[in-house]
Amino acid sequence: MKKIFSILTVLSIISCKSLPEESSKDSGTPLHTQWKGDYSISHDFGKLDENAEMTLDYGLNITKDSCTFWGLGYKTFFTDVCRITGNEKQITVKYIRQIEGDAMSNHSPTDTLAVVFRKDRKYFLQSKVVPSKDWQYDTPILLKKKS
């Protein structure tokens, strides 16, 4: 009886460990593995005045265990914890909570921080939080990716 109980216990542990975390619909690979990396956007708008540059930097960091989305620069300072949903072609970056920031420069409360997608081996971000170089929101912006 002890052997049967031990075998059942081992089998249940193995089956629980093999459950996918958050896999895409088209493949069994977890999204965090497929999209793992550091993504960034940097805008340089030139000199604000003789003493200050006007720059904006945004980033998305996806690891095996976490997701963070951040902004830093002209009237912008925040770091948010996020989660991702989607598939191997496109993910949606969902807001969970802010972990760092300035109340005067935070983005408006939103459920979806961004959509990131692949096209022609390049990565793009579309967001109501991140502006393009010409201050347009919710338009695709080319991302730099470091793995």
In a domain, 1, yes or no: no
Judging by beta carbons within 10 Å of its beta carbon (0-12, 13-18, 19+), is residue 28 exposed, middle or buried? exposed
In a domain, 128, yes or no: yes
Give the pLDDT score at 139: 96
Report how far residue 117's alpha carbon sits from residue 21's, in angstroms, rounded to the nearest whole number. Answer: 21
Question: For 93-146, how does the pLDDT look when each residue is reduced to its tens digit (9 = 90+)?
Answer: 999 999 998 876 767 778 999 999 999 999 999 999 999 999 999 999 999 999
Domain extent, residue 91, equals 22-146
Locate all alpha helices (DSSP H) within the chain, ordered by sequence. 2-17, 31-34
Give the pLDDT score at 3: 42
Give the pLDDT score at 14: 33
Report how far residue 37's alpha carbon sits from residue 61's, in angstroms, rounded to the nearest whole number. Answer: 6
In a domain, 17, yes or no: no
Q: What is the pTM of this model?
A: 0.76
In a domain, 8, yes or no: no
In a domain, 14, yes or no: no
In a domain, 77, yes or no: yes
In a domain, 117, yes or no: yes
Question: For 84-102, how does the pLDDT look when each residue is reduced to its tens digit (9 = 90+)?
Answer: 999 989 999 999 999 998 8
Give the pLDDT score at 28: 59
Q: Which amino acid is located at 46 in the chain?
A: G
In a domain, 29, yes or no: yes
Domain count along the chain: 1
